[in-house]
Amino acid sequence: MNQSAALYPWGDNEPFYSFSAMMKKKYGRRVQKISVDAGFTCPNRDGTKGVGGCTFCINDAFNPSYCTPTKTVRQQLEEGMEFHRKRYRRAEDYLAYFQAYSNTYKPIEELDKLYHEALKVPGVSGLAIGTRPDCIDTELIDYLANLSKSEIVLLELGVESIYDQTLLRINRGHDFGTSISAIQMAATAGLHVGIHLIFGLPGETKEMMIESAAIISGLPVSSVKFHQLQIIRNTVMEKEFLQNPDIFLQFTLEEYIEFIISYTERINPSIAIERFAGEVPPAFLHKAPWSRLRYDQLLNLIRNEMKSRNTRQGILCDLNQFSN
């Protein structure tokens, strides 16, 4: 056994279980996601559960320039693949990433048409589907489980926080129990379940966030994306921040690196980490964080600091508490 395999359970020299390592282990190759905006909406935007959406959200801030519902799914994927071929030369295959809004929030017949339009594009070998936990039901899970028999299917759920008071405050429209039910339903059907968490939401302390690691570690989650809260211009959250900034925990770069390493040490080592932080174009931000540090630069800082401390993902996670 080589030294890296001896050091890290996932068998490479990263001090955390990376998403790329998980994909290579499970599917035997590297894949790159290509974002698609297929014109979905959300139940707390269209009046079903509420209006206005989550207080932190303007979806355009998260979409690449080629990603717009005025283009077909195929056109968005072809333009995205051309962009990523120049940037990620090691990518062998692509996943159509249905990213904007809630991408299971249509009847199955419409979903099937959109998903298969993406799967017919040469070079696309599967789907990554971003959605809300309250846009999951047994019919959808059965459909996705059947699709996953022949295609790569990754389901990504916006959990954001484990605290119901936080979810209510940000107008999320569902509680954490809904997230647990959706995760368990999807995992029981054999689906890959990824979740998103946001650190720094109003009213949450660092201790509250750290405590969530044990809860997340006990769920049947395959991967996770971490996002530091970034205040987007012209959102309800920006107004709240301007009125009462003291309720927001704003990380300096050094504080965030310290925090995210502490969190990573407590996360189940079987959960792949896809991202340690989010990126938003500076034009959308109330204030650009960390001197506009790029994500790849932040990732290197986190990686190097973990190695210098001789620490790794899950080193403080008590796996025995999940054995039953």
pLDDT more than 90, % of the chain = 75
C-alpha to C-alpha distance for 65 and 42, rounded to whole angstroms: 21
Question: Is residue 99 classed exposed, middle or buried when 0-12, 13-18 and 19+ CB atoms within 10 A define those classes?
Answer: buried
Residue 152 has pLDDT above 60, yes or no: yes
Residue 199 has pLDDT above 90, yes or no: yes
Mean pLDDT of 9-18: 93
Q: Are 53 and 45 in contact (CB under 8 A)?
A: yes
Among 228, 234, 226, 205, CA closest to 55: 234
Residue 38 has pLDDT above 90, yes or no: yes
Give, in order, the Cα–Cα distances in Å from 268 to each of 9, 99, 118, 131: 12, 26, 33, 23
Q: How many CB atoms lie within 10 A of CB 102?
A: 23
Residue 322 has pLDDT above 60, yes or no: yes
pLDDT at 46 (0 to 100):
87
Domain boundaries, the chain: 3-316
pLDDT at 1 (0 to 100):
35
Q: Which residues contact 275 (CB under 8 A, 6 or more apart)?
A: 19, 225, 226, 227, 295
Comparing 12-21, 56-65, 307-316, which segment has the lowest mean pLDDT?
Answer: 56-65
Comparing 54-63, 70-79, 168-177, which segment has the lowest mean pLDDT?
Answer: 54-63
Calculate the dihedral angle through the C-alpha atoms of 200, 202, 204, 210, rounding to the nearest 10 degrees. Answer: -20
Token look-up 């071929």 returns 85
Residue 131 has pLDDT above 60, yes or no: yes
What integer best gives the mean pLDDT of the chain?
A: 91
pLDDT more than 70, % of the chain = 93
Kindly indicate the confidence band of residue 213, based on its pLDDT and cuts at 50, 70 and 90: very high
Give strand pairing partners of 84.
Answer: none
Residue 194 has phi, psi (to 5 degrees) of -105, 150
Token look-up 């020299």 returns 13
Angle at 44 between CA 40 and CA 48, to 5 degrees: 90
Q: How many CB atoms lie within 10 A of CB 125?
A: 15
Residue 3 has pLDDT above 50, yes or no: no
C-alpha to C-alpha distance for 292 and 295, rounded to whole angstroms: 9
pLDDT at 281 (0 to 100):
84
* 3-316 under CATH 3.20.20, yes or no: yes
**What separation, in Å, do the N-terminal and C-terminal C-alpha atoms of the chain show?**
31
pLDDT in tens, 292-314: 899 999 999 999 999 999 999 99
Among 280, 283, 202, CA closest to 236: 202
C-alpha to C-alpha distance for 78 and 96, rounded to whole angstroms: 10
Comparing 3-17, 121-135, 149-163, which segment has the lowest mean pLDDT?
Answer: 3-17
Token look-up 């090691």 returns 90
Give strand pairing partners of 225.
Answer: 196, 275
pLDDT at 4 (0 to 100):
45
pLDDT in tens, 221-257: 999 999 999 999 999 999 999 999 999 999 999 999 9
**Could you tell me the pTM of the whole model?**
0.92
C-alpha to C-alpha distance for 32 and 64, rounded to whole angstroms: 14
